[in-house]
Amino acid sequence: MIRIALDLRLNSYRVGGIPQYSNQLLTALALAASDEERFVAIQHRKPMLGPSVYGSRVTTRRVWTPPHHRWEQLVLPLELANVRADVFHFPDFIPLFRLRRPAVITVHDLAFVRYPEILDTAAKRYYGQINRAVKHAAAIIAVSQSTASDLLTLTDADPGKIEVVSEAAAVHFQPLTLHANAAQTINGQRLHPGTFALFVGTIEPRKNLVTLLQALRQLLDRGDVEQPLLVVAGARGWLDEDVFTTVRQLRLESAVQFIGSVDQRALVWLYNACHVYLHPELYSGFGLPVLEAMQCGAPTIVADTSSLPEVAANAALLLPPLDVRAWADAWANVWENQALRDQLRHRGLQRAAQFTWEQAARDTLRIYRRVAGKAT
């Protein structure tokens, strides 16, 4: 019997990102595991913000220590002392260094190394342990080849420990049949299918929204697209004021709608309803919104940086992230060209189908078995 414990405490404090990865992975692991494999979900005593039912192969251990707590390296090992597990998996980068069991960590990206200014004091203390983490871990899961390369260039990681296991979009991201008059009101904003371009992500500098705003201004000035509208779905982040200043300076108030964070149902509708999905991010560890958009059939344009070409391949238009004219030209071309939209939609659906949580679970189980010394 192999027992694997996964640290899901972050799921009681956040939604999306790492919690979504943890939920999707554990759900798939429980289905893919053999009869000899069992899982322990380490959860905080606060209720989880997302799904928490994983099946009979998963038991739950609730603890008091919150994620990222300054004393977790001392206190949490005591809470887990009687947890019988052959392997501990820490999806949030940093393992417990005092546990006398092999640890697997997942590294989603190294944005905090490339852009250290994004971290507050508490985050610097936590993520500042990354070099110790990669040295301590028995295995390191990188969610893309781009992240694996960053691990080798930006940390002291042993290349023999690193394995790439791609993420996938959740199965509820699927094409919908939408009628042109099937409007939706999302966070107070009334939206109609086929009338807007979409960006999904936190509003922060590396998301590169300013490039989209400048491209939008060019579209308006050139008249290439009749009444173009950009919808931004995402919470405000750090140093986001430059985005709103640009909106005012370029007089885009009527052409941009900031609708804030949205739930999963609304997000599926947005991907399906948008005329084109735009993702000019400067740096991404995997680019899950790109995969979600393609899996919903959205024609997609992405930046040709970091992991994004690896995920999109030839299923999206790839552009230099800071080339405003290129973004304006491609935006107008996709917007006006039905044949191109149909081609991108078809390619996107085919590409997205190559990423599944079932495959991610099989690859991750193989790592667990090897680390536990019981590879099959």
Query: Is 120 in the same domain as 211?
Result: no
Q: Are residues 142 and 229 in the same domain?
A: no
23 and 51 within one domain: yes
State whether 136 and 15 are in the same domain.
yes
348 and 215, same structural domain?
yes
The pLDDT, as a whole number, for residue 181 is: 81
> pLDDT band at residue 120, thresholds of 50, 70 and 90?
confident
Residue 242 lies in a domain: yes
End-to-end alpha-carbon separation of the chain, Å? 12
User: Which residue type does 223 have?
Assistant: G
Q: What is the pLDDT of residues 31-83, one digit of tens each?
A: 999 999 999 999 999 988 776 778 889 999 999 999 999 999 999 999 999 99
- In the structure, what pLDDT confidence band is assigned to residue 374 with cuts at 50, 70 and 90? low
Residue 361 shares a structural domain with residue 302:
no
Does residue 51 fall inside a structural domain?
yes
DSSP secondary structure string for all residues of 16-76 = SHHHHHHHHHHHHHHHH--TTEEEEEEEESSPPSS-----TTEEEEEESPPTT-TTHHHHH
Number of domains comprising the chain: 2
Q: Which two tokens stand for residue 40?
A: 């322990």
pLDDT of residue 21: 95
**Do 139 and 201 belong together in one domain?**
no
**63 is a domain residue:** yes
If one counts every other C-beta atom within 10 angstroms of the C-beta of residue 286, the result is 24
- Angle formed at CA 320 by CA 315 and CA 323, multiple of 5 degrees: 130
Of the candidates 37, 46, 53, 35, the residue with the CA atom closest to the CA atom of residue 5? 37
- pLDDT tens digits, 80-115: 999 999 999 999 999 999 998 999 999 999 999 998
Same domain, residue pair 60 and 137? yes
Q: Which amino acid, 234? A: G
Is the domain of 213 the same as that of 71? no
Q: Do the domain assignments include residue 175?
A: no
Residue showing tokens 């149902």? 265
Please compute the mean of the pLDDT values over residues 116-142 and round it to a whole number: 93
Tell me if 10 is assigned to some domain. yes
Q: Given a cut of 90, is residue 327 above it in pLDDT?
A: yes
Mean pLDDT confidence for 300-325: 97
| E runs forming strands in 86-200 | 87-90, 103-107, 139-142, 162-164, 184-186, 189-191, 197-200
Answer yes or no: do 103 and 235 share one domain. no
Angle at 40 between CA 14 and CA 91, to 5 degrees: 40
Question: Which of 271, 309, 308 shows the shortest CA–CA distance to 292?
Answer: 271
Residue 376 lies in a domain: no
Report d(CA 146, CA 308) in Å as an integer.
9
Bridge partners, residue 163, by sequence: 141
For residues 217 and 342, membership in a common domain is answered with: yes
CATH code for the domain in which residue 315 is found = 3.40.50.2000
Say if residues 83 and 63 touch (Cβ distance below 8 Å). Answer: no
Q: Do the domain assignments include residue 311? A: yes
Q: Is the pLDDT of residue 376 over 60?
A: no
Q: Could you tell me the residue range of the domain that residue 101 belongs to?
A: 2-168+356-371
pLDDT at 353 over 80: yes
Identify the CA nearest to 152 among candidates 207, 115, 107: 107
Q: Is residue 174 part of a domain?
A: no
| Judgement on whether residues 157 and 46 belong to the same structural domain of the protein | yes
